Structure 1
């Protein structure tokens, strides 16, 4: 590849760093490591990508579908439909079963292979689960559901914490053709109630209690409060996680172990059509009403299989660890369906990155000899904040690929991850995708693509994207352009609809730019063709005609030695159209008393002016003790934007917020500073 230049919009502060990082030896088949699936250079990626989007793309996809998945009956058509009506179909005549592809075929081939590493909240409780054990438990729970009258097409709610049995619950539903609707086990009773009622479930699967970070969560109590207003629920299956005594409603609530042991450890798989729904997953919307995103069976499975294989360069003996929660799409695709469909060992991580110590991730890598680690920039920033001592004394030589997910990673966190977790020997894959895409859209391939800190690099196979002018929808050609990101063609794992609201699906994703799928994100392409995700379109700030990404300003602020985390939003301004407002959280060890607040905020503003330019300097900087985040760690910038726009009385859906109580304190702080009542 040609020498790569740094993208002007992202500051790379790493001392002596290069503008790009070629694939390291560990993912180039050297030093005893396996050869990469795609490599050894960019040309290998480009040749395969062109096959996947070219005139013979259907042939490419058909071949992959037959190679990667086991079918009960073959398909004749590879693809039909399109964006205009949202009538997308992949492999429509084919039949298969997701549980068979994720469990049975691997159980028959190698029953004693480890399927799941269960890294429990208390490290001493951790254990491994083989494909044999997983197969029998999935069959038993499938038989329980069948005995309760659950049929193919019925929805089953799953409200489970990060136990390995959450994987069983998903696959038991898939085995009998039921549609699982997982609700993150940190949601409130009201949020659970709304999701259960929306998809009209009659059965819910939960646990007595949950464990996370040394704390006990009253899961069953939350369920009981929710079900008081869920008239359709007839049966509740309750897992014994802690063994504590919890209320059980006679005739409705039943213990998982007691019901499962009564029934056979074999259960026949339903033959599902390729386009039959596999699951519904609710994602919060700015309107205040969560969207039930519906994913199909074959297309979604294929997307998970291919991306987990190529993006993480997974090989048969690898031990893959995605540290997300199964309640979110990352957990669905990269804990459950992707790794298990491929037949590798996956990880269910029940705890937090800092319990019982800040070495928890690295202890797990050493203990289980993990080969890939996939986590969020929020977790990386947290670990960076904890210092290097927690990681430096660990043998992390088993790792080959380190991944990030959830938001663009700022260069400072990227370099910390690369230097201290990867020790300069692992590929870093910054993956861009979302609930609605089902699997990765833009991402490096570790053995083929040189990486740039902060860039998601290039589209995955079958993903063909344009950058469009947001005002007129025209395609922006060449490098050094910035606009909105949109896909030209459907891919197999794309969501098929929003549950009971196909009109909303079309209006949100297909109508803004006809002929395209609109991701809702801004993006830039540099002169080397690398893609830089700029955040949600409403996270792009236009200051006096200068388009600024919130990520750019945040990256500039975090270069300050005392800054731990920051969130930037744009708000209406009479003079400049929009103004930059920054919320800054300082590191615990930073002595804020050593300087005045005014001096510190001035210093931070100068930092932004120096890195980006005077036009980017925040109009207001608020020093805060905490930031509003979802339970998966994403900063909820829309909340900050509403507060700064004097719209704190219309914040929309807060059900996914980790600490709703901080909203009032943030509102008081901003309103007081602005002189508002």
Structure 2
């Protein structure tokens, strides 16, 4: 077993210097480095400049080049003889469906769908909103847009009508591609009424809706606006790939903004394609023919990058999973998928493994499946606490790799580059900067800090290919959101430090660094201590207002299934642990035990909202929240200990 044999572990983790050599070249010969990566893909026209800095800070990669992302994701592999290989496996425990699409079948269905879009007047540069659950047609919709040069914007299926309307107003789509419903556990979520209300409320109204009717819910159609997906595809002529500029947008993905107005992150075609293709082999250690599974949703950046585009660009088989880590049907769901489909690498959020650990703390359900095909687990989306990571490592017996990236970056900033060499794992760190990323730590004035000091994590400009070149039709906001705070750098919004070996530690969002009587402390460090308690499944720490010390840390704890010990005893133990491991300076004296934590649908804990409730401030229910009903539960728990008055 990789994790339990210390002799084998030492052999596996012997550093060869391959990573450092490759990383150094990506820094000193950046354009040559990325040009070599780009040459592994198909281009209609080669680029004029690898890096165009003529309009800095709006850098552009592969300017002058012409390309098509869909061709590189599908048609290229068919031309290379991989047409009969599985491209996409749809696994839906909530509908008892498993379906496999070969590269040829997926290409043919995408081409016909692209033809249906053209028949409805969609052309290169038009925007298309995609509002769908985790079904194959969602991936087909993205690829069909890419095929004809339309710009897609995926909105998480089931998003509220008001939020959907704001995206209509910003992106101004010509057409919407939607499904009649989504299935979450045993619930059927009707999408069409939400879509109809969004169109009614929006100032910009799309000309047409292409609706995929699911058997779980057939939605009414509006004459002259709504068209049946299957009918339209059946009569459409397959569309060929349309060449687009490498610098043309591939998609817009909206992310929450501090003003309440969502930010439309733009992704280009050329740089995105090159970076994602490079990442599959060098970061994840997978190649054409391997089965790769990102357990996420196409509504999030992980779904864009590592369910749809990267695996298909690399010629892998990608898994599209319509289910949960627990409850569909149990905490063995992930092991069943890995075993049944021979998954080599899984990428998911730490919260998924916390849920599995909570329901099956001894990983007994894992014993029901043959996982000999499985080589590595990757975690991202929020900070991976060492306890969860070590639990997964011990249970699976393979490397468990934390890595760090963001919606804006589109692919990892920091990772353990398993495809180059597996570096020694340090718990709590996503390891080192990925090739192309110059990550530094700075203070509030933008001055570089010495090793070990906590500050703002930033990346020196220009950013590597695949990252956001701007925000949709809002260059001023792009600069004010990411570039103005630390001139010459991209501000990640995260805080952390770099140790003496160059390992990067992402401790928390910069607004989760709390000030306790003048001491700057990371709530992430306290969460790390809490998660190490034997009875704790999940936790969160926020800074609440205190008249004397400015802020004090307050802990929220979710217990593992079956724990019956007195809550007061458990709280006393975790308070003592923080005092012992961080020190009295943390002033950690209070915690509350709750049944669940408020999260986004991607699994991120809504700490800012919790802090507003605790401090008695007004707040808006985040559009991305998984279940709004949890917020009153949190308020009640806080009132019991003297907060949220």
Is 2:635–2:644's contact at 8 Å kept on the other side of the alignment? no
Residue of structure 1 aligned with 2:296, choices 303, 324, 327:
324
Number of the residue aligned with 1:91: 62
Q: Take 2:197 and 2:341, find their aligned partners in 1: how far apart are those partners?
A: 39
Shift in alpha-carbon separation, 1:600–1:402, aligned structure 2, 3 A: closer
| Contact 1:208-1:241 within 8 A present in 2 as well | yes
Which of 544, 552, 556 is the aligned partner of 1:571?
544
**Map of 1:51 onto structure 2:** 25
- Secondary structure in structure 1 of the residue aligned to 2:235: coil
Matching residue of 2:517? 544
Contact 1:564 1:585 in 2 (8 A): yes
Alignment equivalent of 1:634, drawn from 573, 598, 604 = 604
Matched, 1:406 2:381: yes
Q: Quick check: 1:86–1:497 contact (8 Å CA) kept in 2?
A: no
Alignment of 1:298-377 (within 5 A): 298-354=270-326, 355-377=328-350
1:452 to 421, 426, 448: 426
CA distance in 1, matches of 2:22, 2:456: 26
Report the Cα offset of residue 314 of structure 1: 0.7
Match of 2:38, SS? helix
| Mapped partners of 2:243, 2:4: distance in 1 | 57
- Once the two structures are superposed, what CA deviation does each residue of 1:568-589 show, in whole Å capped at 9, x if it has no partner? 1113333323211111122231
Q: Deviations over 1:394-413 (max 9, x none)?
A: 21110112100101211110
Structure-1 residue corresponding to 2:593: 623
Is the 8 Å Cα contact of residues 616 and 643 (structure 2) preserved in structure 1? no
Matching residue of 1:383: 356
Listed one character per residue, the Cα deviations across residues 121-153 of structure 1 (whole Å, up to 9, x for unaligned) are 347411210011111111111111111111111
2:70 equivalent to 1:102: no
Match of 1:466?
A: 440
1:159 aligned counterpart, secondary structure: strand
1:4 aligns with none
User: Secondary structure of 2:404's partner?
Assistant: coil
Does 2:207 correspond to 1:207?
no
- CA distance in structure 1 between the partners assigned to 2:455 and 2:318 by the alignment: 37
The residue number in structure 2 matching 1:217 is: 189
Q: Note closer, same or farther for the CA distance 1:22–1:323 as it changes in structure 2 (3 Å cut).
A: farther
Aligned mates of 2:280, 2:432 — CA distance in 1:
16
Equivalent-residue separation in structure 2 for 1:420 and 1:215 (angstroms): 31
- CA apart distance, 1:20: 12
Q: What is the distance in 2 between the residues matched to 1:238 and 1:22? A: 55
Residue 195 and residue 572 in structure 1: after superposition, are their counterparts in 2 closer, same or farther (change >3 A)? same
Tell me the residue number matched to 1:661: 629
**1:463-522 deviation line (CA, Å, top 9, x unaligned):** 1111112x2211124x32321111113211111212222211111110111111110111
Cα distance change on mapping 1:675 and 1:566 into 2, 3 Å: closer
CA RMSD in angstroms, aligned pairs only: 2.1
- Residues 60-139 of structure 1 mapped to structure 2, 5 A cutoff: 60-67=33-40, 69-81=41-53, 85-109=56-80, 110-122=82-94, 124-139=96-111
**Residues 18 and 198 of structure 1: CA distance in aligned 2, closer, same or farther (over 3 Å):** farther
Cα contact 1:186–1:631 (8 A) shared by 2:
no
* 1:653 to partner: Cα distance: 5.8
Q: Distance in 1 between matches of 2:643 and 2:525?
A: 29
The Cα offsets for residues 264-307 of structure 1, whole Å up to 9 and x where unpaired, read as 2x312111101101100011123222111111111111121111
| 20 and 395 in structure 1: CA distance in 2 versus 1, 3 angstrom threshold | closer
| 1:414 positional shift | 0.4
Alignment correspondent of 2:642: 674
Count of paired positions: 635
Change (3 A) 1:72 1:586: same
Q: What is the deviation of 1:21?
A: 5.7
1:72-100: CA deviation from partner (whole Å, max 9, x where unpaired): 00112111228x95311111010001111
Question: By how many angstroms is 1:42 displaced?
Answer: 4.4
**Higher RCO, 1 vs 2 (CA within 8 Å, ≥6 residues apart):** 1
Q: Does 1:392 align with 2:355?
A: no
Aligned counterpart, 2:499: 526
Which position in structure 2 is the counterpart of 1:507?
Answer: 480
Q: Secondary structure at the match of 2:135?
A: coil
1:599 Cα offset (Å): 4.2
Query: Counterparts of 1:235 and 1:21 in 2: how far apart (Å)?
Result: 57
**Contact 1:509/1:519 (CA < 8 Å) preserved in 2?**
yes
Matches within 5 A, 1:400-439: 400-421=375-396, 423=397, 426-439=398-411
Report the Cα offset of residue 114 of structure 1: 0.6
Q: State whether structure 2 residue 147 is matched by structure 1 residue 175.
A: yes
5+ residue gaps, structure 1, are 1-14, 29-39
Per-residue displacement from partner, 1:412-459 (whole Å, max 9, x unpaired)? 1001111112x2xx2222110001111111000123312112211101
Query: TM-score, normalization: structure 1?
Result: 0.90
Q: Distance in 2 between matches of 1:510 and 1:367?
A: 46
Give me the whole-angstrom Cα distance separating, in 2, the residues matched to 1:676 and 1:168. Answer: 46
Q: Deviations over 1:361-420 (max 9, x none)?
A: 101111111101111100001111122112123211101121001012111100111111
Q: Aligned partners of 2:480, 2:424: CA distance in 1, in Å?
A: 37
Match of 1:494 in 2: 467
Deviation per CA, 1:630-649: give whole Å up to 9, x if none: 011110111112122221x1
Kindly report which structure 2 residues correspond to 1:1-16, keeping only aligned pairs within 5 A, or say none.
none
Equivalent in 586, 601, 611 of residue 559 of structure 2: 586
